[in-house]
Amino acid sequence: MNLSNGQIYSIVRRMTDPSIPLLFWSGYSSLVLVWSGYLRSWTVLVSESPITRIFPRRWIDIAGLKIFDVWEAALRAVIGVIVFRPGISQVQYCHNHRGSLLMVHTG
């Protein structure tokens, strides 16, 4: 096939834009285009009912820079639990929130 850069970009965009994409962008030190069949290897399961998977370190963009709005939201969520449940252990928090504390501490 003899496709132009614009045509390739258009095809990739159509494969990454749907609500259930065929491909997704990932990576921290370099940008990687990944087939959605490998989503499990690139994400963390945070809920089994309904099944919800997220990208770890979701507050870091593909250039390795902190996305402050997302970082603040994650931080506020954890601080909110600690304020309303003083003395909660990390183990208890992770059990109740399916690992979200672990994701905050990996950043």
Q: Residue 65: what pLDDT?
A: 75
- Assess whether 104 and 52 both reside in one domain: yes
36, 22 contact by CB (below 8 A): yes
- What is the bridge-based pairing of β-strands 44-48 and 51-54? antiparallel
Are 56 and 107 in a shared domain? yes
Q: Range of 2's domain?
A: 1-42
Is residue 75 located within the same domain as residue 88?
yes
Same domain, 36 and 57: no
Task: Give per-10-residue mean pLDDT for the chain (107 aa).
Answer: 87 88 78 84 80 75 76 81 76 58 39
Query: Does residue 107 share a domain with residue 73?
Result: yes
Please report the pLDDT score of residue 96 as a whole number: 64
Domain count, the chain: 2
41 vs 34: CA distance, rounded Å: 10
Q: pTM above 0.85?
A: no
pLDDT for position 14 = 93
